[in-house]
Structure 1
Amino acid sequence: MVKSYTHSLDYTFFALADPTRRAILARLSQGEATASELAKPFDMSLVAVGKHLRLLETAGLVRRDRNGRTVTCHLEATPLAQADAWLAGYRAFWDGNIASLSRFLATWGPERSE
């Protein structure tokens, strides 16, 4: 079970590593779109955008529905929730460190600079 969870996280983070794929996901967070609509803002071919979409689909972040020649894409947020859950442990670590730093700085006020 742990291995498959890690495997899906690997795919999620690999997919999120590319700015084009992050932009596609940001667009899909506003609602479904065709592959052609998703390709418009990018200076690349529809084939290149299709490769990004296939990778996002493999990572489970996008679902593509085909109706004739039209491909409609939908955001699948479950892998993002899994990544957020994994990051939550690190968020708690950093929040604790930042709180400690804030307490230290509060005791080390301007009167110490003299």
Structure 2
Amino acid sequence: MPKTGTKETNAVLDNHLASAQRGDLEGVLSDFSEDSVPFLPQGPIRGIAELRAFYKALLTNPPPGFPKALELLRRDVEGEVAYIVWKAEPGVRLATDTFIVRDRKIKVQTFAASFAA
């Protein structure tokens, strides 16, 4: 997929995706700062401690197929905003993330997914 947007936004997104696919918790967390706020279906989480708990659970007890079967379906980057659509079947039928990147950190993230029953 072609890369547009800022070099910084693309670098953070590239690291985030690669770290998630490796199951690298510290690599994923390095993309965030204490003032980062991911918005999840269950509500926002704040700070590295809450981020660590969320990503640790996701990476140590992942849905079937994640992260090895992660397939990026769409990637759009404009300035400091990145948007991805992905799946990791059979456990994740479809997922979407939006990231706002400033100062080489994800400041805001939105996440939603359809998980297999």
Q: TM-score range by the shorter chain?
A: under 0.3
Higher helix share: 1
Give the structure, 1 or 2, with the largest relative contact order (CA under 8 Å, sep 6 or more).
2
If the length of structure 1 is used for normalisation, what is the TM-score?
0.27
**Greater Rg by CA:** 1
Q: TM-score, normalised by structure 2?
A: 0.26
